Structure 1
Amino acid sequence: MPDAIADAKRALRADLRERRQQRSEASRAEDAAGLKAQLDALVERTGARSVSCFLSTPTEPGTHDFIRDAVARGIRVLLPITRSDGLMDWAVADPEGEIAEGLYGVPEPVGEVLSPLAVNDVDLLIVPAAAVDRTGMRLGWGRGYFDKTIGSMQHCPPVYAVVFDAEILDDVPRDVHDQPVSGVVTPTQTLPLAASRR
């Protein structure tokens, strides 16, 4: 049975990845502006003074403008740095700081490295996803970094996954280690998902 779940996840990820690659440059710019507005409103609504976020790839809803503006407003933003042992270190976002390619080709900050425990101090987690279903289950990209992080936090703050509108699905394949999220943010809406465990 686990093989069937893994196969279903692989097939869905491949389909979602292909759809993302077909988005036009104009759509991507519009999506980034919409996402920034949604994330700004979420931070204000939650009163978060410290958040974790991620540096988006060119095919993801864009987070770079949100991060730059949040830092300018005095919000502490932690960005993940992947490690080969499956854990994530963190770095405080610096709009003037360097960005390099991480372990899996995703953009990551260059700077002072904080331990995996640093994320325990944030008020809000903003995480990438391939898709999220209406019960709050998140389908990641298959490496388990965010599931491990969320699952290991003693006092986990609200967790919001970032996807495009068409990636909010009725159901996603799930395994025992998969972690639910509190809500989902797209370029046009923010949906709390009350049915999730967080």
Structure 2
Amino acid sequence: MSTDVEHQKRALRAELRERRQLLSDAQRETAASAIAQRLDNLVETLGARSISCFLSSTTEPGTREFVTGAVRRGIRVLLPITRADGLLDWAVATEDDDVVEGLFGLPEPTGEVLGPIAVNDVDLMIIPAAAVDRGGMRMGWGRGYFDKTIGSMERCPPVYAVIYDSEVLDLLPREVHDQPVTGVVTPTQTLLLSHPRH
């Protein structure tokens, strides 16, 4: 049975998706370069040697430039692979990664597949989101993969969501399973919103 919160989220996701589709290629490229710079700085500040990130789709804030650069600098980058059972497998990014279309039409790596627990060793998680509010509550796209992953980790590292500036909102509708993030990275700012749960 649908709740009011689900309806609110569905309407908000539709609006955010539409807003992302209106961006021009030039706007996307500029945002991706700025995000790569900010993520590089975040990795350096945290001293992260092993991270997880996602391969951005066309409409998502770009992460591919950052992933390629991180791999070249010798950082171990795990990329998610969606599974039908709602869990995420992981593959180690390489410089010449081939990309295929995953379960939901999202780009996924083709490297050797590691199981869901591989992510437990990372120093930093960089994840997608539809929006994040100022208290650190994240709203994803409704499939729950990252909520499930973060919620099941014994020692969760800092988790940063990559979004556009207009997607940092004052307050988001939330459900019990929703997981907060440590902060967000947008083209213009890196915000610390809540403290990592160690």
Q: TM-score, normalised by structure 1?
A: 0.97
Q: Within 5 Å, which residues of 2 pair with 1:41-60? A: 41-60=41-60
For structure 1, the residue ranges without an aligned partner over 5 or more in a row are none
Query: What is residue 19 of structure 2 aligned with on the other side?
Result: 19
Structure-2 residue corresponding to 1:192: 192
Q: CA deviation at 1:95?
A: 2.1
In 2 relative to 1, CA 52–195 (structure 1 residues): closer, same or farther, beyond 3 Å? closer
Amino acid at match of 1:92: V
Q: Which residue of 1 aligns with 2:30?
A: 30
Looking at structure 1, the residues matched to 146 and 32 of structure 2 have their Cα atoms a distance apart, in angstroms, of 22
Specify the alignment match of 1:75 in structure 2.
75
Q: How far, CA to CA, are the matches of 1:35 and 1:189 in structure 2?
A: 9
Match of 1:14, SS state, is helix
Percent pairwise identity: 67
Contact 1:135 1:196 in 2 (8 A): no
Find the counterpart in structure 1 of residue 94 from structure 2. Answer: 94
Q: Which residue of 1 aligns with 2:110?
A: 110
**Partner amino acid for 2:103?**
L
**Residue identity in the other structure for 2:44:** E
SS in 2 for 1:179: coil
CA displacement, residues 17-38 of structure 1 (integer Å, 9 cap, x when unaligned): 0000000111001000000010
Q: Which amino acid aligns with 1:171?
A: L
Answer whether contact 2:159 2:196 (CA < 8 A) is retained: no
Counterpart residue type for residue 153 of structure 2: M
Give the Cα–Cα distance (whole angstroms) in 2 for the partners of residues 61 and 78 of structure 1: 18
**Secondary structure at the residue paired with 2:154?**
coil
2:39 corresponds in structure 1 to: 39
Question: What whole-Å deviation, never above 9, does each CA across 1:10-57 have from its counterpart, x for those lacking one?
Answer: 000000000000001110010000000100000000000000000001
How big is the shift at 1:86? Answer: 0.2
- TM-score, length-scaled by structure 2: 0.97
Distance 1:65 1:192 in 2: 23
1 CA distance for matches of 2:133 and 2:180? Answer: 9
Q: C-alpha root-mean-square deviation of aligned residues, in Å? A: 1.3
Aligned pairs for 1:154-165 (under 5 A) are: 154-165=154-165
